[in-house]
Each structure stands twice: as structure tokens, then as C-alpha cells.
Amino acid sequence: MPAEKCHAFPAIYAGFVTGVTVTGDSYHCGSSLTLINQNVMESATQPSCYYCEFRPDRLFCDMPVDALQLLDTVKSLAIHPKGSVLFAEGRPARGIFVLCDGRAKLSICSETGKRLMLRIAGPGEVLGLGAAMSGTPYEISAELLDTSQVMFIRRKDLLKFLRDHSDLCIRVVQMLSQDLHAAYERVRSIGLARTRRPRAAQAD
Amino acid sequence: MKTDRLFCDLPASALQSFEAIKYATAYPKGAVLFVEGQAPRGIFVLCKGRVKLSICSTDGKTLILKIAESGEVLGLSATISGKPYELTAETVDPCQINFVKREDFLRFLREHSEACLRVAEQLSEKYNTACREIRSLGLSHSAAEKLARLLLDWSARNGEANKQEPRVKLALTHEEIAQMIGTSRETVTRLFAELKKRQIVQAKGSTLVIRNKAALKSLATV
């Protein structure tokens, strides 16, 4: 279950970060050594975003170095298999998902189980942003179309992160505006089409 | 006045600089704040009154997305992204509105991270309603279903949701309700007549009493 995987990483990280803050005077302490070992292991599974070759091209990821360092402490990277559901509509928003590679299908569902596809999200996109910012349940569902590496940031960490870095906050606001534009475009195409037939044609 | 509003309840320093860049204006009923497709001039903070937000197709069909109430910020996403306004905003009542020019607003956001977070919240809320609109337009079968959902929505917003017989004040004409759910005026009139005949709702002047909430709910989830 990928969702549990996501939760496990920040827990290890929190342990590590508190370990570092006390290493100053606990040099001989055995436990701090194991923590440092853990750090080495962690950096193997959690490469820093600093070295990502795609970073400069991506709106969310292209951030200043100090913000990147902070991001490395709050993010958790995981490979999710194709077809896994990142989040489902109506579930409480745990945080945001950044697609490092691969694509995800965004859809919306009626109470009776009918599904309407909204769009396909590509690499570099941030998913679940609106719900995470407002703390409301996810308004759409996201399902991976490819086996993808996904970065997860918990809601609490994200809000703190944005409060500390106002330039990033503006970027988040820009991304939300883009999402909203796309949603209104969709409302227009569905709501103002003359018959059901052209709606179906526009759905793809 | 400013406490329960998402955008007005800012720290004192931010409020002060907001005061400096805002233009307070009064608009009469029926005034158009902005039209879809226009280049964004700035944001409109609705202090008092209601504003109708709609989108239009090229052949002139109108779809009302929402009636915005006081405290809401209009034209936000267009102002931030610099793309043309995606909606048309028209006042329903005489309105008290604060206008902020685009460049002033962007500078204000850069300087006040707290305000920036608020804006993100507002945008998320709007995104949420847009998604609900897509769901109701794209996934419901009949106009009856959409009308039932609209009535339930309205009763929930007035804090009447838990009452046995919720009351809904109909502030819109049948024509406007038709534009909200994407159908014709005639259909709305026919549906209302049907609901009344089946004793599901009862009209008392401009107030609608939902007599049979269970029946309306089952209509909404066909």
C-alpha cells in the first residue's frame, strides 16, 4: 500500500532531525551514531531535489537553495506502481503529491459511481494542492497511469514551508489559479455544449 | 465586520498597506464589474451585496456559476495569472466593493506572506466549487436531479439543513435558476410545478418550504 509508505518516511526523518540538533554535546552517544547511519541510508533512498535535472523547468521545484534544503527534510519520495490511487475524492487531504515522472489521471465521481475524466497530469505537476491548502477533502481522484516517482509533502509541513518562504507561496497561488482556469474551461465545455454528443467528444 | 472573512481578517500591518492600495467604490444593481475575455485589471473584494458570476458561450448561452456573497474576492485567479477574466461578474444588489489594481495587488502579495496564504485558501475554495459544478453538470442525468441538488445546497447554506422542513429564500428568477443548472426557463417552471404537485415543496411568497426532504434527496441522487 503506497499510502503507508508515504507516512513511514517523515517519521524516520523526524527522528533524524531531532538527532542532529543534539549531536553537538552527545558526540560519544551510541544512538546518535545510528542516527547518522540512518541519514546515510536515507540520502540513498531520498536523493536531494538539488540534483534533479528537471528542477529548473518545473514551477514548483525551481526554488532557492535554502528552500530546497528545507524541502529535503519534509518531503518523502516513493515509487508508486502503475494504477495506484494517490488520493481519492472525499478523503481528508493529507498533503500534496508532486509527480516527479509519469502521468496521473484526474477524475471526478458522482454518488452513483459514474466517473468523469478531468485531465491527465504530467511530470512536474502538483496534485491535491487546493484541498491541502484549504484543509477540505480532496475534490478529485488521482490515479497513476505509469509507474512513477512521487514526492509527498504533508499538509502541516507544506503550510509551514509556505509561511517561511513567501516567494514559494506566490508560486503556489499561481498554480492554483491555473487549476482554476482549467476547471472553468471544463465547466464551459460541459455546461454550454448544445447536446450530449459534443460533450463526449470534448471529454478526450 | 472583518473577523469572519477570509481575506479581510489580516494582521494589522498587512491591513494597513491594503488600505493604502484599495479603492472603495459603490456600484448600483446590475453593474458589470468585469466581462470574461477582458485583460485583468485587478481584484474586486466584495464588502456588501451579492454578485452574479457567469460564463457565456459564443452563441450567447449563459451559465451562472455562483452568486458570490460578501467577503468574497472576485477576479482573483485572472489577476494572479495575468490571463483574461474567465467569468463575467454582475452585481445583483447595490454593492460596496474594494478594487485593487493588479500590480499593486501582486506587490502586496509578495510583501505579505500571510495574505498570500489567504489568497491560496480562497483559490482552493473556488476550485472546490468549480469541481462541484463540473460534477453536477457532467454527471447528472436530468434537470430534476440538478434542481433538487441546487435546492438542497441552498438550504444547507442558510443553516437550515438540519431542520425538518428547511426554508429556502428564492432570490433568483426561474430564468436565472435555469442558467445555474444549464437548462431552459420552461423546464424549471415545469419542475417547480411538479415538485409542488407532489407536495415536496411549498411556495410561500418568495420563500420555498421543503416539505419532504427525503423525497428531494432521493431525487438528487438518482
Question: pLDDT category, A151, cuts 50, 70, 90?
Answer: very high
**Which among A190, A195, A202 is the top mutation candidate for probing chain B, defined by the most B β-carbons within 10 Å of its own β-carbon?**
A190
Collapsed DSSP state (helix, strand, coil) of residue A195: coil
CB contact B142 to A (< 8 Å): no
Q: Domain A41-195: which CATH class?
A: mainly beta
Q: Which three cell numbers stand for residue B23?
A: 479603492
Q: What is the mean pLDDT of residues B31-54?
A: 92
Query: Is A44 a residue whose pLDDT tops 60?
Result: no
- A contacts of B152 (beta carbons < 8 Å): none
Q: What is the pLDDT of residues A171-195, one digit of tens each?
A: 899 899 988 988 888 888 887 765 5
Nearest chain A alpha carbon to B119: A173
**Of B5 and B145, more confident:** B145
Given pLDDT bands bounded at 50, 70 and 90, which one contains residue A24?
A: very low
Which of A34-48, A181-195, B136-150 shows the lowest per-residue confidence on average (mean pLDDT)? A34-48
Could you give the percent of chain A with pLDDT greater than 70? 72
A172/B120 Cβ within 8 A: yes
The closest alpha carbon to A117, from A203, A201, A24, A199, belongs to: A203
Q: Model confidence at B173, in pLDDT bands (50, 70, 90)?
A: confident
Q: Give the residue on A whose Cα is nearest the Cα of B61.
A: A192
Q: What per-residue confidence (pLDDT) applies to B39?
A: 94
Q: How confident is the model at residue A31 (pLDDT cuts 50, 70, 90)?
A: very low
The residues that bridge with A116 in the sheet, in sequence order, are A108
Domain boundaries, chain A: 41-195
CA distances from A61 to A53, A104, A142 (A): 11, 18, 20
- The CA-based diameter of chain A, rounded to the nearest angstrom, is 75
Nearest-by-CA chain B residue for A196: B138
Per the confidence metrics, is the pTM higher than 0.80?
A: no
State whether ipTM is beyond 0.90.
Answer: no
**Strand ranges of the sheet holding B22-27, from the earlier edge strand across to the other edge:** B22-27, B95-101, B42-48, B73-74
Do A191 and B126 make contact, defined as CB atoms within 8 angstroms?
no
Average pLDDT over residues B23-39: 93
Quote the pLDDT of residue A45. 56
Q: Which residues contact B49 (CB under 8 A, 6 or more apart)?
A: B27, B70, B91, B92, B93, B94, B95, B96, B97
DSSP bridge pairs for B90: B32, B52
pLDDT at position A148 over 60? yes
- A86 versus B149: the higher-pLDDT residue is A86
B206–chain A Cβ distance below 8 A for any pair: no
Judged on CB neighbours under 10 Å (0-12, 13-18, 19+), A173 is buried
Residue B213: pLDDT above 50? yes
Helix (H) or strand (E) holding A141: strand A141-144
The more confident residue out of A9 and B170 is B170
Q: Are residues B128 and A192, on separate chains, in Cβ contact within 8 Å?
A: no
pLDDT at A38: 44
Residues 6+ apart with CB under 8 A from B12: none
In A23-74, where does DSSP find H-type helix?
Answer: 30-45, 65-74
Asked if residues B18 and B8 have their Cβ atoms less than 8 Å apart, the reply is no
Q: Which of B63, B87, B130 sits opposite A192 (nearest CB)?
A: B63
Q: Pick the residue of A111, A141, A173, A199 with the most B CBs within 10 A to test the interface with B by mutation.
A: A173
The C-alpha of A198 sits at a distance from chain B's nearest C-alpha, in angstroms, of 12
Q: Is A183 within 8 Å of B131 when comparing Cβ atoms?
A: yes
